[in-house]
């Protein structure tokens, strides 16, 4: 079973903000594959089902971004899942809005949600899909920026990236991370 986690912050206050593109991607993935029956378990909203014949669990941690690892560590422990079967989808300020970057593994960078996950799982060896949200203006506080909404043009680009991310995740689940990287990185 693949565990596909999108990072974000719970609550309407954070809906459609830059930091919540992981949640948006999970919602789009759930709609595409009719996996919209989410329930609350393991400090997360979880939906289970199939993507092209492969068993998956969609996860939206409800611990707030900076503690995302609490939920994912609990899920991986409970299901005795290999971290290599975890796919994490999250926002990245180091990529232009709408750019997609898939990696087999790697460090958390400056992303606090990823820092929490790496710290609690005690490994960096799990695939991830990063969606570019752009950088803040020099005078803007980073936390204010990631909690802000996109401009109309950025929203268009990010929506396209979310659609590609859903295709990439399906490719990761049904083929491999390497195939997805070759097809969707750019």
Average pLDDT score over the chain? 96
Q: State the pLDDT at residue 110.
A: 81
User: Which structural domains are found in the chain, ordered by start?
Assistant: 2-184 (3.40.50.1470)
Q: Which residues contact 156 (CB under 8 A, 6 or more apart)?
A: 98
- For the chain, the farthest-separated pair of C-alpha atoms sits apart, in whole angstroms, at 49
Active site residue 19: yes
Q: Which two tokens stand for residue 129?
A: 């899909």
Tell me the backbone φ, ψ of residue 129, rounded to 5 degrees: -120, 115
- Output the pTM of the full model: 0.96
* Predicted confidence (pLDDT) per residue in 103-128, tens digit: 999 988 889 999 999 999 999 999 99
Beta carbons of 165 and 95 less than 8 angstroms apart: no
Q: Which two tokens stand for residue 122?
A: 């005690």
Task: Calculate the CA 183 to chain-centre distance.
Answer: 18
* Predicted confidence (pLDDT) per residue in 119-161, tens digit: 999 999 999 999 999 999 999 999 999 999 999 999 999 999 9
Sign of torsion over alpha carbons 94, 114, 102, 26: negative
Angle of helix 112-121 versus helix 68-78 axis, rounded to 10: 30
Q: State the pLDDT at residue 109.
A: 83
The answer to whether residue 66 scores a pLDDT higher than 80 is yes
Q: Which two tokens stand for residue 6?
A: 């999108």
Q: Which two tokens stand for residue 132?
A: 């570019």
Taking the C-alpha atoms of residue 123 and residue 168, their distance in angstroms, rounded to an integer, is 23
Which entry of 2, 19, 42, 111 is annotated as an active-site residue? 19
Beta carbons of 85 and 2 less than 8 angstroms apart: yes
């Amino acid at each position: 079973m693949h565990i596909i986690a999108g990072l974000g912050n719970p609550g309407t206050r954070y809906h459609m903000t830059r930091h919540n593109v992981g949640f948006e991607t999970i919602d789009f993935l759930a709609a595409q594959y009719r996996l919209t029956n989410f329930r609350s378990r393991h400090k997360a909203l979880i939906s289970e089902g199939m993507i092209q014949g492969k068993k998956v669990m969609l996860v939206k941690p409800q611990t707030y971004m900076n503690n995302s690892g609490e939920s994912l560590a609990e899920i991986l422990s409970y299901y005795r899942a290999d971290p290599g079967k975890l796919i994490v989808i999250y926002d990245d300020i180091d990529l232009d809005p709408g750019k997609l970057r898939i990696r087999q593994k790697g460090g958390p960078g400056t992303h606090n949600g990823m820092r929490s996950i790496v710290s609690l799982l005690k490994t960096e060896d799990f695939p991830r899909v990063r969606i570019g949200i752009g950088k803040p203006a020099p005078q803007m506080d980073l936390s204010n920026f990631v909690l802000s909404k996109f401009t109309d043009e950025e929203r268009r680009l990010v929506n396209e990236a979310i659609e590609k991310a859903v295709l990439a995740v399906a490719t990761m689940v049904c083929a491999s991370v390497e195939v997805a990287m070759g097809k969707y990185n750019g």
